[in-house]
Amino acid sequence: MHRTVTTVSDPRPEGSRTGQISADLRRRIADGEFPAGMRLPSEAALSAAYGTTRSVIRGALARLARLSLVASRPRGGWVVQDPNQTQGFARVQSFTEWATEGGRKPGGMITSRMVSPADPREAQHFRIRLGDPLLRFVRVRTLDSRPVMIERSTWAPWVDDVIVGVPDDVRSTTAVLAEAGIRVASTNHRIEAVSATTEDAEMLGIRRSSPLLQVGRATTTGEGRLVELGVDRYRAGVIAFEIEAGQTVRAAL
């Protein structure tokens, strides 16, 4: 599709120009001119096409990134993302199921395992005594071989026999549990913004204190029995959450 872009400089304030270009790029993506997976023209090319500065273009692209429409790739420029990869919280899917449904290649590796005492919150939720041992592990999850999320899980003692033997590269703990007759039925989520710790930064290949989206999880069976308390930390530009008409969905970039 051929498109002509006016190159006359706009006298309006920079903020207004940023919004105008962001809206135009969004329309072009929606129209299919820039399909999912396509690399956008360089910032220099876009600034020339729109007759503005690269800082304005960066601002416009940053707005699109916050809307989960584009993502910046190291040495790869800005890439258009698939807007249709969503999951409702009411639909309980593992990371692997969710990623595969969206046409992505999921992966992961358990980087550490430990057994440590239950804190007051954990003791209350798992209905055990304060200080009772709990199995925990940390796993780095990937999409298309790119590290995108750190998963920290604390397991209910009654599933220890199932979880303790999973390999470090286990594809889906949800599937492992299902094979053992333990079917996850619901998950409660708590979403908040946090800064990357030194450990987070090393595992995700980002700078310390970079913004992350944290999702706390409490996963239960259909009978309401708690299976896992988890905390997932997504790197910026990987996932977005939307709430519409009472339904919450998450969109993968």
Cα(44)–Cα(53) distance, integer angstroms:
8
State which of 80, 100, 127 marks the end of a domain: 80
Q: Is residue 154, in this structure, part of any structural domain at all? A: yes
| Residues 74, 91 within the same domain | no
Q: pLDDT: is 36 or 68 the higher one?
A: 36
The answer to whether the pTM exceeds 0.75 is: no
| Residues 52, 97 within the same domain | no
| Residues 225, 140 within the same domain | yes
Query: How far, rounded to the nearest angstrom, does the alpha carbon of residue 9 sit from its chain's CA centroid?
Result: 37
| Residues 141, 49 within the same domain | no
Among the ranges given (7-11, 29-33, 176-180, 185-189), the one the predictor scored with the smallest mean pLDDT? 7-11
Cα(85)–Cα(97) distance, integer angstroms:
12
Q: What residue numbers bound the domain in which 39 lies?
A: 14-80
State which of 52, 80, 108 marks the end of a domain: 80
DSSP-assigned beta bridge partners for residue 215: 191, 232
| Residues 74, 122 within the same domain | no
Mean pLDDT of 98-126: 88
Q: Is residue 4, in this structure, part of any structural domain at all? A: no
Helix, strand, or coil (residue 211): strand
Q: Is residue 206, in this structure, part of any structural domain at all? A: yes
State which of 31, 48, 80 marks the end of a domain: 80
Q: Is residue 1, in this structure, part of any structural domain at all? A: no
| Residues 74, 93 within the same domain | no
| Residues 131, 43 within the same domain | no
The CATH number linked to 105 is 3.40.1410.10
| Residues 131, 232 within the same domain | yes
Which residues neighbour 174 within 8 Å (Cβ) at sequence distance 6 or greater? Answer: 93, 94, 96, 97, 184
pLDDT band with cut points at 50, 70 and 90 for residue 102:
low
| Residues 43, 150 within the same domain | no
Mean pLDDT of 33-51: 90
Number of domains in the chain: 2
- pLDDT single digits (tens) 173-209: 988 999 999 988 777 778 889 999 999 999 999 999 9
| Residues 113, 215 within the same domain | yes
| Residues 131, 243 within the same domain | yes
| Residues 61, 152 within the same domain | no
